[in-house]
Amino acid sequence: RRAAAQTLKIGMIPADGIGHEVLPAARAVLLALGSSIPKPEFIDLNAGFEYFTRTGTALPEETIRVLTEECNGAMFGAVSSPSRRVAGYSSPIVALRKKLDLYANIRPVASVSGTPGSDVDMVVVRENTECLYIKEETQIMTPNGKEARATRLITERASRRIGKMAFETALSRGKQNPVLTIVHKSNVLSVTDGLFRETVRGVPQLEEVQGRYDGVKIEEQLVDSMVYRMYREPATFDVAVAPNMYGDIISDAAAALVGSLGLVPSVNAGDNFVMGEPVHGSAPDIAGKGIANPIAAIRSASLLLTHLGHLEPAQKINDAVDAVLREGKVLTPDLGGRSRTQEVLDEVLKKM
Ligand code: ATP
Ligand code: MG
């Protein structure tokens, strides 16, 4: 799976707000890698709330067709979530994850020495297709009032593939002693979380992986103590894997450890496709001002490359970003600086 992709056909979906300001930065760093990667071909694609208000559709068929038929990767900017329910609108990012079977949401949270949260260097691998988020909810009226229930789905298949993705992630970081922490609550939910835990634990023994993960140490953490320990001793974590809802919560908690949302990247990954996406939203309060921090998008482009098997060029981007942060001279306002998006991009390009 990690053989380097020979072509880079990348769908670019800026979507809303600062997505339009940070995606060009991701494009620029990929182009700046020159011949160390296959020449990237970018295809601009529509989606998002702005597009919906103009056309009545949030995710055009053409975007899905181009992504599935022509691209091996994509970069997504950000969608604005309308504060009230809007008839006919549903999030294009959720739909894209489904249509492209992007079953893993991977979020590295790291920071550079001398900057806030400097001893954090972890990755959260979140299962993205099941758990409580299958949205099977019912409500009935009983003699004692309303009663609501939700179904929680955990399957061996989904747990196994997210487990493999997590072990791959642990290996890809090039650490001396990789550790994978399985996050669960099987002391209470012994059937569902028990299945998740057992299945992930069993991945290294699968015949098809041929001992590939034997060097990865497995640890476990109950989800509540996971959050506690992430705040008390964040440096102790390497890669964490979790079912959808716990993963949702701990990945935001992890992002908070390093300060600005403008720094944290992610990818949505499946077996045949990967989509980079900064963790932040469309930031309507600063959109159009040219001051959005492009680093989350730039790091997402680096992650995209990692998943397409181009590890060294990906590292080159990360090293350049780290150098800019460590120097601390050219920073956007969210990090206490006075520089603009373009100036931060130029500085990253200079370091590359
Ligand atoms: P959305 O509905 O799109 O999520 P939001 O109002 O929740 O919009 P976010 O994008 O989630 O906005 O951002 C939350 C806060 O963090 C905002 O104040 C925003 O300006 C700031 N922020 C987010 N991303 C960045 C960035 N890349 N650079 C600078 N500030 C950012
Ligand atoms: Mg938001």
pLDDT (tens digit per residue) in 187-197: 999 999 999 99
CA 8 to chain centre: 19
Confidence band of 127 (pLDDT split at 50, 70, 90)? very high
Q: How far apart are CA 181 and CA 201, in angstroms?
A: 10
pLDDT at residue 4 in the model: 85
Q: What is the pLDDT of residue 258?
A: 84
pLDDT over threshold 70, residue 114: no
Q: Exactly one of 103, 121, 185, 316 is catalytic; name it.
A: 185
Mean of the pLDDT values across residues 192-204?
98
In the predicted structure, residue 117 carries a pLDDT above the cut 60:
no
pLDDT value at residue 323: 95
- Residue 65, classified by CB atoms within 10 Å of its CB into exposed (0-12), middle (13-18) or buried (19+), is exposed
Mean pLDDT along residues 255-264 = 86
Find the residues whose C-beta lies inside 6 A of ligand 1: 18, 78, 80-81, 261-262, 280-286, 292-293, 296, 332, 334
- Averaged over 178-190, what is the pLDDT? 97
CA dist 304 and 69 (Å) reads 18
221-225, 243-247, 260-264: least confidently modelled range: 260-264
Q: What are phi and psi of 320, to 5 degrees?
A: -65, -45
Cα distance between the two ends of the chain = 27
User: What average pLDDT does the segment 47-53 reach?
Assistant: 95
Q: What is the mean pLDDT of residues 242-263?
A: 89
Residues around ligand 2, an ion, CB closer than 5 A:
281
Better-scored residue on pLDDT, 84 or 24: 24
- Whether 252 is catalytic is yes
- ipTM comes to 0.95
pLDDT digits (tens, 9 = 90+) for 11-48: 999 999 999 999 999 999 999 999 999 999 999 999 99
Using the mean position of ligand 2's atoms as its centre, give its distance from the Cα of residue 177 in Å. 35
SS3 278: coil
For residue 282, the ligand closest to its alpha carbon is: 1
Q: What is the DSSP string of 170-206?
A: HHHTT-SS-EEEEEE-TTT-TTHHHHHHHHHHHGGG-
Residue 285, Cβ neighbours under 10 Å: how many?
A: 8
Residue ID of nearest Cα to ligand 1 atom 6: 283
The atom number, within ligand 1, closest to the CA of 292 reads 28
| Confidence at residue 115, expressed as pLDDT on a 0 to 100 scale | 60
Most confident segment among 3-7, 14-18, 89-93, 134-138? 14-18
Is there a catalytic annotation at residue 89? Answer: no
Please give the full DSSP string across 246-271, using - where no structure is assigned: HHHHHHHHHHHTTS-GGG---EEE-S
Take atom 27 of ligand 1 and give the residue whose Cα is closest.
Answer: 262
The structure's pTM equals 0.91
Distance 145 CA to ligand 2 centre (A): 34
The size of the chain, in residues, is 352
Q: Highest mean pLDDT: which of 221-225, 248-252, 256-260?
A: 221-225
- What is the b/e burial string over 28-52, where b = at least 16 CB atoms within 10 angstroms of the residue's CB? bbbebbeeebeebebeebbbbbbbb
Structure tokens, 100? 């492209």
Q: Which of 121, 238, 248, 322 is catalytic?
A: 248
Average pLDDT of the chain is 94
**What pLDDT is stored for residue 49 in this prediction?**
95
Neighbours of 281 (CB within 10 A): 16
Q: Which residues contact 3 (CB under 8 A, 6 or more apart)?
A: 309
319 is catalytic: no
What is the band of 1 on the pLDDT scale with cuts at 50, 70, 90?
A: very low
Model confidence at 110, pLDDT cuts 50, 70, 90, reads confident
Ligand nearest to the backbone CA of 283:
1
pLDDT, position 284: 94
Distance in Å, CA 252 to ligand 1 centroid = 13
Centre of ligand 2 from the C-alpha of residue 15, in Å:
14
Task: Give the separation between CA 31 and CA 38, rounded to whole angstroms.
Answer: 10
| Strand, helix or coil for residue 37 | coil
Nearest CA to ligand 1 atom 5: 283
| Long-range contacts at 246-252 (CB < 8 A, ≥ 24 apart) | 246/183, 246/184, 246/185, 247/105, 247/124, 247/125, 247/126, 247/127, 247/128, 247/183, 248/126, 248/133, 249/223, 250/124, 250/183, 250/223, 250/226, 251/105, 251/107, 251/109, 251/124, 251/126, 251/279
pLDDT band at 204 (very low <50, low <70, confident <90, very high): very high
Q: Are 317 and 108 in contact (CB under 8 A)?
A: no
Q: Which amino acid is at 96?
A: L
Ligand 1 pocket, mutate which of 83, 264, 289, 334 (most atoms under 8 A from CB) = 334
For ligand 2, the distance from its centroid to the CA atom of residue 261, given in whole angstroms, is 9
Is residue 44 part of the annotated active site? The answer reads no
pLDDT at residue 322, as a whole number? 93
133 labelled catalytic = yes
Distance 129 CA to ligand 2 centre (A): 21
